[in-house]
Amino acid sequence: MGNQQFKTAVELTLKVIGGKWKPVILCHLTDGAKRFSQLRRDMPGITQKMLTQQLRELEEDGIIHRKVYSQVPPKVEYSFTEYGLTVRQLLDEMADWGTQHQQHLNQVE
């Protein structure tokens, strides 16, 4: 415990699915494949730059797949890769803890 391996493993996980936007993006992709424009509509707070940036990182980490339809106007769809599905379990557990914590906070008040 308290060892280097454990610590860096957690840090790696947070690097891949942590941060301000990635969890939110991944949540919206649990519905299935979505277009870039649809994701923008789903997340009014995010800028197009941030959305692009975060999607690219998730793609590079092998979590999501970017499917480009060669047509005009352009159409790009994002979806979980098979490998990416392994983080959904983790996201669920993080959501569970968050929900319980919210109730915990309500009790304290």
Partner DNA sequence: CAGCATCCTACTAGATACTG
Partner DNA sequence: CAGTATCTAGTAGGATGCTG
Binding site residues, DNA, CB under 7 A: 19-21, 35-38, 45-50, 52, 55-56, 66, 73-76
* Identity of residue 16: V
Of 95, 19, 90, give the one whose Cα is nearest residue 50.
19
CA distance 104 to 98: 10
Contact criterion met (CB below 8 Å) for 90 and 17: yes
* Helix orientation angle between 22-29 and 48-60, rounded to the nearest 10 degrees: 80
**Which among a copy of itself, DNA, none contacts residue 79 (Cβ within 5 to 8 A by kind)?**
none
Cβ-based nearer residue to DNA, 68 or 106: 68
Cβ-based nearer residue to DNA, 32 or 89: 32
> Interface residues with a copy of itself (CB under 8 A)?
1-3, 5-14, 16, 18-19, 23-24, 27-31, 42, 61-62, 83, 86-87, 90-91, 93-102, 104, 108
